[in-house]
């Protein structure tokens, strides 16, 4: 191999390596912090509303700060972690009549598309599985910020809102005459992610 060809080859490899490294540098991976993330919900109850949360959330968030459309999410929620701040009601919610958590103990969202509307806001679309039924949903989200935490990690905060219909996922309680519990479930996601540390524990 002559020196000129060797030099061209080295330059080409350098461009490929640099380009790949730059692409990876634009992407940040965050593990969802289970102890600081919540999937809050509210639903009509008789003439008012009941509310609560799911406290066990796990998953991965990939973010490109310069272009949110290159971001993605894969998250799972433990249905058994439902809490309405009333133990007896929580036990009732988990039963077959409502969430049937013994049979369907997990819900999952896997993004398929992110529409960026600014550097901090967008619309997330993906496949959401609940009660054994998978449907495509879309909802707006906002990146609340990035920064260091007191334990030596780096974090991202994300907030999102959506409403789903229980009947779309095979739940029958809202279809009963004079049903005391409604069909629309309003959801607020408050998520903290820790950068590049799936096993990171703040305590």
- Which domains does the chain possess? 28-195 (2.40.128.110)
DSSP at 104: -
Confidence at residue 26, expressed as pLDDT on a 0 to 100 scale: 85
- 3-class secondary structure, 68: helix
**pLDDT tens per residue across span 4-60:** 554 554 444 444 344 444 444 588 999 999 999 999 999 999 999 999 999 999 999
First to last CA, the chain: 58
Confidence at residue 17, expressed as pLDDT on a 0 to 100 scale: 40
Confidence at residue 8, expressed as pLDDT on a 0 to 100 scale: 53
| pTM given for the model | 0.84
Confidence at residue 137, expressed as pLDDT on a 0 to 100 scale: 98
- What is the rounded radius of gyration, in angstroms, for the C-alpha atoms of the chain? 22
**pLDDT tens per residue across span 49-63:** 999 999 999 999 999
Structure tokens at 60: 């991965």
* Selection from 183, 119, 189 nearest residue 161 by Cα: 189
**pLDDT tens per residue across span 111-168:** 999 999 999 999 999 999 999 999 999 999 999 999 999 988 999 999 999 999 999 9
Residue 187's Cβ-count burial label (10 Å; 0-12, 13-18, 19+) is middle
């Amino acid at each position: 191999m002559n020196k000129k060809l060797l030099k061209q080859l080295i330059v080409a490899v350098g461009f490929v390596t640099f380009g790949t490294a730059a692409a990876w540098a634009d992407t940040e991976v965050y593990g969802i912090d289970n102890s600081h993330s919540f999937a809050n919900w509210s639903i009509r109850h008789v003439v008012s509303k009941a509310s609560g949360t799911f406290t066990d959330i796990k998953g991965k968030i990939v973010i490109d700060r310069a272009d949110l459309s290159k971001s993605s999410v894969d998250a799972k929620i433990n249905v058994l972690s439902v809490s309405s701040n009333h133990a007896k009601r929580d036990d009732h919610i988990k039963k077959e009549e409502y969430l049937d958590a013994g049979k369907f103990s997990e819900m999952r969202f896997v993004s398929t598309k992110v529409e960026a509307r600014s550097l901090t806001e967008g619309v997330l679309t993906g496949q959401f599985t609940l009660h054994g039924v998978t449907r495509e949903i879309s909802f707006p989200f906002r990146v609340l910020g990035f920064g260091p935490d007191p334990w030596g990690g780096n974090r991202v905060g994300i907030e999102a809102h959506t409403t789903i219909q229980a009947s779309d996922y095979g739940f029958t309680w809202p279809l009963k005459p004079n049903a005391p519990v409604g069909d629309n479930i309003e959801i607020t996601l408050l998520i903290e992610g820790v950068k590049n540390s799936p096993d990171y524990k703040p305590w």
